[in-house]
Amino acid sequence: MLPTIESLAADLATRRTSSVELTRAALARASDPAGEGARVFTRLDAEPALAQAAASDALRGAGLVRSPLEGLPVSVKDLFDIAGQTTRAGSVLLREAPAAARHATVVDRLLAAGAVIVGRTNMTEFAYSGLGLNPHHGTPRNPWDRATGRIPGGSSSGAAVCVSDGMAVVAVGSDTGGSVRIPSALCGLTGFKPTARRVPTAGVLPLSTTLDSIGPLAASVRSCAIVDAVLAGEAVPCSMPGDLQDVRLAVPIDVVLNDLDDSVAAAFEAACQRLARAGARIRRIAVPEFAELPALFAKGTLPAAEAFAWHRGHIERHAAAYDPRVVSRIQLGARISAADYIDLLAARQRWIAAVHTRVAGFDALLMPTVPQIAPRIETLVADEAAYFRANALMLRNPSLINFLDGCALSLPCHAPGQAPVGLTLAGLGGSDARILALGLAAEAALAA
């Protein structure tokens, strides 16, 4: 079982360990030539991390503990600016770009909370896929069935494997269409995507300025709640009362239950039964709006339009430096006119209002995070059609919540020893605290 923020904070408080010891252990795992570290990190910052750890131990010795994150090893995705470093976003295109002049806001907040930043994690190039493949820096192998070599999920691929392999206690990623929740689901972790406006994106290289959100991947709901509070600049909640008794959970029957493989279908049904036994009132409902998105996206998507706006100059000069499967999708944004983009923004607001009306009276939506277990890396590398088919499937369910401007938690719900499967609890925009509290109760019910 992976350590949580809570368990390690208790160890630090009772002097059973120190920040330096935890950081050295994390760095040793990251540097192990037999491990995944070379594919997990695009940059490992051993010397600064050990200095931060020593400073944290000194502050603790003087009676100062800034947050539950004090002294704990944390990684950040290669999208976040760190002063003096180049933010490459998993690419080779930006390797000669100027170093950042200052930290991203979320990095400042992590450091102010006492986190020890061990390095920058690998990702799908420019965050533009839900699979996690990266031809430039390698693809970290999913901790489940590592011998076969399965995808970790993306785009926060290194973030998930970093936590699963003990290279950090928690990882911070970004989520535009599922990039925190997909790798969490496929690697057996807990991941939280907050309402987009909750965490500032200053100093974060964008994919979609409309949909980008920043959230944690960790070993427990409480760990995610702690990091979410730090990232949002809020006080860490002292308690999170959560109870499933008479909680109303809606399972949409449109789209999200299509194409489930046997492992996901069985794990999802078993999870629903456990939540019901804990008192939840689960009802399957029609949400036909979910099936309307392909028509809304007929002329293009928000990520395509907004990514192309950022990348178009780079593509004109250096298209060959991109992962071909990434640049081909970004270039689709060139087809979207300004009028089409404005129409899509207006259609989104009408769609959000319709979904709000549809789910009124429910406390949360319940669905499989992704419909299938992690496919083999080799299959997706070799087969273009398989790659794009798998990418669409992985993004399908989680991206609904991004377009809804909602928040969502992915919890592991598979049986021990089985392929990891994620269970999503999702809420409307601004219901973050409620979803995290429900997640804590659901976590306990699933464990029981």
Q: Is 399 labeled as catalytic in the residue annotation?
A: no
- Bin 254: left if φ > 0, else alpha if -120 < ψ < 50, else beta: beta
132 and 253 assigned to the same domain:
no
Q: Is 299 labeled as catalytic in the residue annotation?
A: no
The distance from CA 317 to its chain's CA centroid, rounded to whole angstroms, is: 31
Beta strands in 186-280 (DSSP E): 190-193, 213-218, 248-252
106 and 197 assigned to the same domain:
yes
Q: Please tell me which residue in 155, 157, 184, 220 is annotated as part of the active site.
A: 155
Is the residue at 241 inside a domain?
A: no
Instruction: Please tell me the pTM assigned to this model.
Output: 0.98
Last residue of a domain, one of 232, 262, 288: 232
What pLDDT score was predicted for residue 448?
87
Who contacts 36 (Cβ-Cβ below 8 Å, separation ≥6)?
140, 141, 161, 165
The DSSP annotation for 6-67 comes to HHHHHHHHTTSS-HHHHHHHHHHHHH-TTSSHHHHEEEE-HHHHHHHHHHHHHHHHTT---S
Is the residue at 394 inside a domain?
A: yes
Q: Please tell me which residue in 19, 157, 179, 223 is annotated as part of the active site.
A: 179
Cis peptide before 208 (omega within 30 of 0): no
Is the residue at 240 inside a domain?
A: no
210 and 261 assigned to the same domain:
no
107-165 tens-digit pLDDT: 999 999 999 999 999 999 999 999 999 999 999 999 999 999 999 999 999 999 999 99
274 and 175 assigned to the same domain:
no
Domains identified in the chain, total number: 2
Is the residue at 316 inside a domain?
A: no
183 and 285 assigned to the same domain:
no
Q: Is 378 helix (H, G, I), strand (E, B) or coil?
A: helix
Hey, what are 83's tokens?
Answer: 């002063």
* Distance (Å, whole) CA 113 – CA 355: 37
Average pLDDT rounded to a whole number, residues 288-299: 98
What pLDDT score was predicted for residue 237?
83
By the 10 Å C-beta count (0-12 exposed, 13-18 middle, 19+ buried), 76 is classed as buried
Is the residue at 50 inside a domain?
A: yes
Hey, what are 132's tokens?
Answer: 């996690």
Q: ∠ CA(221), CA(225), CA(230), 5° rounding?
A: 150
Q: Is 77 labeled as catalytic in the residue annotation?
A: yes
258 and 194 assigned to the same domain:
no
The helix (H) or strand (E) run that includes residue 203 is none
Average pLDDT rounded to a whole number, residues 342-371: 98
177-229 tens-digit pLDDT: 999 999 999 999 999 999 999 999 999 999 999 999 999 999 999 999 999 99
Residue 405's CATH number: 3.90.1300.10
59-111 tens-digit pLDDT: 999 999 999 999 999 999 999 999 999 999 999 999 999 999 999 999 999 99
Is the residue at 274 inside a domain?
A: yes
Return the bridge partners of 44, or none.
Answer: 119
38 and 139 assigned to the same domain:
yes
Last residue of a domain, one of 189, 208, 232: 232
72 and 192 assigned to the same domain:
yes
Last residue of a domain, one of 177, 205, 232: 232
What's the full length of the chain, in residues? 448
Hey, what are 209's tokens?
Answer: 């300025």
160 and 58 assigned to the same domain:
yes
Is the residue at 120 inside a domain?
A: yes
264 and 223 assigned to the same domain:
no
Residue 94 — φ and ψ, nearest 5°?
Answer: -100, 15
271 and 376 assigned to the same domain:
yes
45 and 174 assigned to the same domain:
yes
**Domain housing 153:** 5-232
Q: Please tell me which residue in 77, 157, 174, 213 is annotated as part of the active site.
A: 77
Is the residue at 315 inside a domain?
A: no
